[in-house]
Amino acid sequence: MLRYLIEKEFKQTFRNAFIPKMILAFPFMVLLVFPWATNQEIKNINVTVIDRDHSAWSKRLSEKIGASTYFNLAGYADSNDEGMITVEDGKADMLLDIPPDFEKNLVNRGETSIMISANAVNIMKGGLGSGYMNAIVQDFAGEIRAEIIPASGKTGLPLIQVIPQGRFNVFLDYKVFMIPALIVILMTLLCGFLPALNIVSEKEIGTIEQINVTPVRKFSFILGKLIPYWVIGLFVFTLTLGLSALIYGLVPQGNLLTIYLSVLVYITTVSGLGLLISNYSSTMQQAMFVIFFFLIIFILISGLFTPISSMPHWAQVFTYFNPLRYFIEIMRMTFLKGSGFMDIWRQLAALAACAFVLDGWALISYRKSH
Amino acid sequence: MIIKIDNLTKCFGDFTAVDHITFSVGKGEIFGFLGANGAGKTTAMRMFCGLSKPTSGEGRVAGYDIAKQPEMVKKNIGYMSQKFSLYEDLKVWENIRLFAGIYGLDGKQISRKTDITLKRIGLMNEKNTLVKELPLGWKQKLAFSVAIFHEPKIVFLDEPTGGVDPIARRQFWEMIYEAAEKGITVFVTTHYMDEAEYCNRVSIMVDGRIKVLDTPGRLKDRFHAKNMDEVFRQLAR
Amino acid sequence: MIMKKKNNSQFFAFVRKEFYHIFRDVRTMLVIIGIPVIQILLIGFAISTEVKNVEVAVYDPSNDEVTNRIINQMDASEYFNVTRRLKSANEADEVFKKGQTGLVVVFCEGFGERLYHTGDAAIQLLIDASDPNHGTTVSSYAGSVIAGYQQELLQETNVPVRINPEIRMLYNPEMRSAYNFVPGLMGMIFMLVCAMMTSVAIVREKESGTMEVLLVSPVKPIYVVISKLVPYFIISWVIFIIILLLSVFVLGVPISGSLVWLNIFALIFIIVALSLGLLISTVVKTQVAAILASGMGLIMPVMILSGYVFPIESMPPILQWISGIIPARWFVSGAKKLIIEGVPVRFVLKEMLILLGMAILIITVSLRNIKTRLE
């Protein structure tokens, strides 16, 4: 019985004018456009320098900033007001205000101050930008120090050397961080929401009534709806693996078997969610809005682009009920760090629990009669 | 008795759509279930098919309780709804294969019977046509064939001939007679009163109750009417 | 004159009918109001990019007074929680793979000794850089905690050549993420309500054939269409006010610019969104197509290419160029200036003109489509 239902679903899907194209186009779009668009890499920060000292050292500092990979020297200004205008115009993101007597004070008093102003509307840019700027300024101070007191390293001062080293994403490529998570979003849309819209459209057309009056078991009917999307989901996932290896050279570090197992558990989970929504919607418009509602909330608290550890405790509690959170964690861990089954089993178990609840609820709430 | 309904009632909130109806239908009978729009025909029929749970009362269809064993009822009936409901984006043979498969027929049986059926209803040339490309009259013939493909004991037809021309309706009724001769009980709702004349017995429903139930001939005598249309007008005033 | 009056009352009858349709579907209404409210709350109170409570693992072979003080200072800062001691530096990757730890601090052997005698005391900071921004921030915070301790050590002996930076965060001194999201949120909701709902509502009437009924009535076709747009225009504006009130009173976003201009600017964008909905409804035939077209063609681009969450300037030029044809991009950039930076209206003149131009263009095209369809 199940065979006939699956057969029907495949025929309908591939006969549709739009859906097969979408299934193919989607992975390409997600992998070709999204990683670039969601790139939060902070580079090319434009800086206006307000140089009130016009000394050799102040020039050297400005040039050092312009030469770094993070900053572009947007220009010079003579006053704070003039500098602020460049920020308001969007020509500059940061101001570096070098006071008069900058060089003189450094030589005579051994210390001076400067002011760094960052446009913090984009807090990522403001925060990281001012951090980078400070690092360059301190580096500059070190250079000067080495020049005027050549032996500063061996003066007997207790200095600590700090050696930072990034692991797993050594080139600090933000795209590499986003790709595994974007694949999660793709799988969610494909395996969760397409089947939901499919079922609701059968409701609207009325064909579901013809099915309900047959002795088909609801379990078979639902499986008949979901299995094709699972197959499509696994196909698309494999496609994205290939694409990400080909385009970005990003190959999963972890065990492929573990990854595919997690994918299977996840698509069971989201298709349960989709079913649930379709059970409670009678029109496509309703289903669409409800889907949208959940999708937005789930994405916002999934850790997709803001770390979960930065959330307040109550919000972190909410994320325990968010299947996206677990799958994004699993994907990032297995893709980037090569975490194995023993590292991710907690997340996987949580996902399986979500699947159990959602699918069970969907099965119970699906009614052949009213 | 293949259908036995006893005091069956369905309420939606405080509105009573079907109000204590009682009747029975014998094997091989063509039973016309008449009534104006909104009289409760479709609601009653949905209960008989196990699509809707009765509020109170009892009913047995093909020997099974419609409230307690709806899935057993469904195994033994065929159903064709007023809203045409085959899959428009499947081909003619694919629709047959799907529904026959759901009723548990095996693949070989299906393909053999498909050709026989299609030849009989004259749609053999359209075997590979998408259903959405067929004219309405053909679609309805096909839907009826699909509904009786698994040889159910009873077939429920909910306004099967809505919107088609008199010739197509005539052909459709010939198919109904053929099915009845094979021993399939036909339970049909319609609002074409000329069609009521073709039935063995008819009931007329008004405001959720069955007002009369008898053969068309006897009903005409009782109401001194020339045809069923006049009978209906007198009752549904 | 009488005809005109009659036309007017029929027009309002149509508008009323449209409102009935909208309010009858309680669930959709709840979702439309719910999305902005919940988003504002989550954005304001739940999500943030601040680095806090990063779990730290320590490998400390020397275990002396100095290393213990550094570890204690780290643990005491709001950024870090020291949760784990490692037995060897090789354990670092294993710990990272478990996913919780964000930073591993590795001290060299005999750290205290070396600090005072050989001068080559080193701390290695191993950072989980799978999230590069988070990783960089963690590294710089850890560096500053260590620098703070260094300063304590050097209290007596002043290091020469010190530059003390004063860092000022313009427009958003408390570094609240919410500021960033409010304009984008507005843009997305307008697309949802104006473009998606309008197109679906019009197409539904086409699908069910009721559009024909309206069009054969004595009211001019253009009024029929406008009467469908009016309710969504009003709802959008109400939602705009709700978002503004929530932003000010719940999130504490100060509206620094002119309220009048902000409203005018928003209304221009609402008109653009409505005309996009109208345009879609003139092109597609089914509700599903309308949903997919507005979902994929309007809402998705707003979410990723308008500068809502992801800054446009970090995109490659081709995407920046594409984002230029997305109306929401101009709305977001203008609204950011008006709401957050509070600049005078002349600074958003460009955005306003672009949006007006888009509105005129889209309306012209869709009116032409309607005309050809009717004839």
Report the run of H or E that residue A215 belongs to, with start and end: none
Strand partners, C125: A164, C105
Interval C1-18 mean pLDDT: 66
Confidence (pTM)? 0.81
Q: Is residue B61 part of a domain?
A: no
Residue type, B94: E
Residue A152 has pLDDT above 50, yes or no: no
Interface membership of B89 toward A (CB under 8 Å): yes
How many structural domains is chain B composed of?
A: 1
Distance of CA A60 to the CA centre of its chain: 38
Q: What is the pLDDT of residue C176?
A: 67
Mutate to test the interface with B, among A207, A208, A220, A222 (most CBs of B within 10 A): A207
Locate the domains of chain C by residue range: 54-170, 176-374
Q: Which two tokens stand for residue A284?
A: 């496509």
Chain A residues touching B89 at Cβ < 8 A:
11-12, 15-16
Q: Report how far apart, in Å, the C-alpha atoms of A98 and of each of A51, A52, A53, A115, A219 are.
A: 5, 6, 7, 7, 72
Determine whether the interchain pair A140/C163 forms a contact, defined as Cβ–Cβ distance below 8 Å: yes
Interface membership of A87 toward C (CB under 8 Å): yes
Model confidence at C1, pLDDT cuts 50, 70, 90, reads very low
Q: Whole-angstrom Cα distance, residue B32 to residue B23? A: 12
HSE-CB of A294 using CA atoms within 13 angstroms? 19
Q: Whole-angstrom Cα distance, residue A159 to residue A151? A: 13
Contact yes or no, A with B (3+ CB pairs under 8 Å): yes
Average of per-residue pLDDT values in chain A: 85
| Chains linked to A by 3 or more Cβ pairs within 8 Å | B, C
Closest CA in chain C for residue A166: C127
Chain A residues touching B98 at Cβ < 8 A:
4-5, 7-8
Interface membership of A295 toward C (CB under 8 Å): no
- What dotted CATH number matches C54-170? 3.40.1710.10
Neighbours of A1 (CB within 10 A): 16
Of A60-74, B24-38, B207-221, C206-220, which gets the smallest average pLDDT?
C206-220
Give residue-wise pLDDT tens across range A346-357. 899 999 999 999
Do B197 and B216 form a contact (C-beta atoms < 8 A)?
Answer: yes
| Nearest-neighbour CA in chain A from B225: distance (Å) | 38
Strand partners, A19: none
From start to end of B99-144, where are the E strands? none
Chain B residues touching A4 at Cβ < 8 A:
97-98, 101-102
Strands A161-167 and C54-59: unpaired
Do C352 and C268 form a contact (C-beta atoms < 8 A)?
Answer: yes
Contact yes or no, C with A (3+ CB pairs under 8 Å): yes
- What dotted CATH number matches A45-152? 3.40.1710.10
Determine whether the interchain pair C99/A43 forms a contact, defined as Cβ–Cβ distance below 8 Å: no
Strand partners, B80: B157
Q: Buried b / exposed e across A97-111, counting CB within 10 Å, b at 16+?
A: bbeeebbebbeeeee
Distance of CA A152 to the CA centre of its chain: 44
Q: Whole-angstrom Cα distance, residue C349 to residue B29? A: 80
Residue C5 has pLDDT above 60, yes or no: no
Do A279 and A272 form a contact (C-beta atoms < 8 A)?
Answer: no
Chain A residues touching C302 at Cβ < 8 A:
none
Entry field: residues in chain A: 370
Determine whether the interchain pair A162/C34 forms a contact, defined as Cβ–Cβ distance below 8 Å: no
Q: Whole-angstrom Cα distance, residue C121 to residue C141? A: 20
CB nearest to B85's CB, from A1, A15, A207: A207
Give residue-wise pLDDT tens across range C132-187. 888 888 888 888 888 778 777 776 566 666 777 777 777 767 666 667 778 888 88
Chain B residues touching A9 at Cβ < 8 A:
none
Listed residue (C20, C15, C90) closest to C59, CA to CA: C90
Q: What is the pLDDT of residue C156?
A: 55
Listed residue (C59, C155, C60) closest to C112, CA to CA: C60
List B residues 166-225 in contact with A (Cβ-Cβ < 8 A). Answer: none
Contacts of B146 (CB under 8 A, 6+ apart): B78, B80, B86, B95, B96, B99, B100
Determine whether the interchain pair C159/A157 forms a contact, defined as Cβ–Cβ distance below 8 Å: yes
Q: Is residue B144 part of a domain?
A: yes
Do A26 and A189 form a contact (C-beta atoms < 8 A)?
Answer: yes
In the block, tokens 């009213």 appear at A370
Of A14-23, A201-210, A322-331, C166-175, which gets the smallest average pLDDT?
C166-175
Q: Which two tokens stand for residue A136?
A: 């360059």
Looking at per-residue pLDDT, the higher value among C255 and A228 belongs to A228
Give residue-wise pLDDT tens across range C326-374. 999 999 888 888 887 778 888 888 999 999 999 999 988 988 887 666 5
Residue A150 has pLDDT above 60, yes or no: no
Closest CA in chain B for residue A14: B89
Model confidence at A158, pLDDT cuts 50, 70, 90, reads low
Chain A residues touching C139 at Cβ < 8 A:
164, 166
Q: Whole-angstrom Cα distance, residue A323 to residue A352? A: 9
Q: What is the pLDDT of residue A349?
A: 94
Chain A residues touching B72 at Cβ < 8 A:
215
Q: What is the pLDDT of residue A323?
A: 93
Q: What is the pLDDT of residue B59?
A: 92
List A residues 213-252 in contact with C (Cβ-Cβ < 8 A). Answer: none
Model confidence at A239, pLDDT cuts 50, 70, 90, reads very high
Q: What is the pLDDT of residue A197?
A: 84
Do C265 and C347 form a contact (C-beta atoms < 8 A)?
Answer: no
Give residue-wise pLDDT tens across range C116-137. 777 678 888 888 888 888 888 8
Residue A324 has pLDDT above 90, yes or no: yes
What CATH number is attached to the domain comprising B175?
3.40.50.300
Q: Is residue B132 part of a domain?
A: yes
Average of per-residue pLDDT values in chain C: 81
Mutate to test the interface with A, among C31, C35, C38, C47 (most CBs of A within 10 A): C47
Neighbours of C15 (CB within 10 A): 17
In the block, tokens 């007997």 appear at A156
Q: Report how far apart, in Å, the C-alpha atoms of B216 and of each of B210, B211, C285 are.
A: 15, 14, 47
Q: What is the pLDDT of residue C192?
A: 82
Chain B residues touching A216 at Cβ < 8 A:
102
Strands B209-214 and B201-206: antiparallel
Determine whether the interchain pair C158/A110 forms a contact, defined as Cβ–Cβ distance below 8 Å: yes
Give the residue ranges of chain B where pLDDT is below 50. Answer: none
Report the run of H or E that residue A354 belongs to, with start and end: helix A341-365
Looking only at Cα atoms, what is the longest distance across chain B?
55
Determine whether the interchain pair B102/A368 forms a contact, defined as Cβ–Cβ distance below 8 Å: no
Distance of CA B118 to the CA centre of its chain: 21
Q: What is the pLDDT of residue B154?
A: 93
Interval A17-40 mean pLDDT: 83
Contact yes or no, B with C (3+ CB pairs under 8 Å): no
| Nearest-neighbour CA in chain A from B232: distance (Å) | 30
Residue C2 has pLDDT above 60, yes or no: no
Do B211 and B181 form a contact (C-beta atoms < 8 A)?
Answer: no
- What is residue B187's three-state secondary structure? strand
In the block, tokens 């009323």 appear at C16
| Nearest-neighbour CA in chain B from A236: distance (Å) | 24
Interval A54-65 mean pLDDT: 89
Give residue-wise pLDDT tens across range C15-35. 787 777 777 777 777 877 888
Chain A residues touching B70 at Cβ < 8 A:
368-369
What percent of chain C has a predicted confidence (pLDDT) above 90? 8
Q: Which two tokens stand for residue A47?
A: 């800086």
Chain A residues touching C280 at Cβ < 8 A:
none
- The residue range of the domain holding B113 is 27-52+75-236
Q: What is the pLDDT of residue B159?
A: 87
Q: Which two tokens stand for residue C372?
A: 């050809």
CB nearest to C172's CB, from A123, A172, A344: A123
Contacts of C146 (CB under 8 A, 6+ apart): A160, A162, C70, C123
List A residues 30-59 in contact with C (Cβ-Cβ < 8 A). Answer: 33-34, 36-44
Listed residue (B38, B45, B33, B10) closest to B207, CA to CA: B38
Q: Report how far apart, in Å, the C-alpha atoms of C219 and of each of A257, B64, C211, C367 are.
A: 65, 57, 12, 17
Q: Which two tokens stand for residue B192?
A: 């074409």
Chain C residues touching A292 at Cβ < 8 A:
31, 35, 192
